[in-house]
């Protein structure tokens, strides 16, 4: 299989995308469940929370997707930090573009 070379910008995009997923997992482990806040027009907000059992959290910690996300983060992070060190303006621009995305 032949893959095209990734640019630093593309590497950072993958890093931030993966980090977002890892951060969501970390939040689930931190609060012990899933929480979502829904804005209801001008009426306010509703917070929905589903608590996970310890067993469910243990299973999630061993799930293939979570383990892959963790592994990818461990591989991407040193590269992203190297890019940040050598080209801080690119790092900041991609980070801001990513954080300002409608999909986040």
Does any domain span residue 47?
yes
Does any domain span residue 3?
no
Does any domain span residue 20?
yes
pLDDT tens per residue, range 46-74:
999 999 999 999 999 999 999 999 999 99
With a threshold of 0.85, does the pTM exceed it?
Answer: no
Q: List the domain range (segments joined by +) for residue 12.
A: 8-99
Does any domain span residue 1?
no
Residue 2 has pLDDT above 50, yes or no: no
**Axis-axis angle for helices 64-86, 8-31 (nearest 10):** 130
Does any domain span residue 21?
yes
pLDDT tens per residue, range 5-49:
889 999 999 999 999 999 999 999 999 999 998 888 888 889 999
Split into its structural domains, the chain has a count of 1
Query: What percentage of residues in the chain have a pLDDT greater than 90?
Result: 75
Does any domain span residue 42?
yes
Does any domain span residue 104?
no
Q: Which long-range contacts (CB under 8 A, 24 or more apart) does 58-64 make?
A: 60/25, 60/28, 60/29, 61/29
């Amino acid at each position: 299989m032949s893959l095209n070379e990734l640019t630093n910008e593309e590497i950072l995009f993958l890093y931030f995308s993966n980090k977002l997923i890892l951060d969501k997992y970390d939040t689930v482990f931190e609060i012990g469940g899933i929480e979502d806040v829904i804005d209801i027009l001008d009426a306010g907000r509703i917070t929905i929370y589903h608590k996970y059992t310890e067993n469910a959290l243990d299973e999630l910690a061993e799930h293939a997707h979570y383990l892959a996300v963790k592994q990818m983060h461990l591989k991407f992070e040193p590269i992203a930090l190297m890019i940040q060190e050598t080209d801080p303006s690119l790092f900041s621009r991609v980070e801001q573009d990513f954080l300002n995305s409608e999909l986040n």
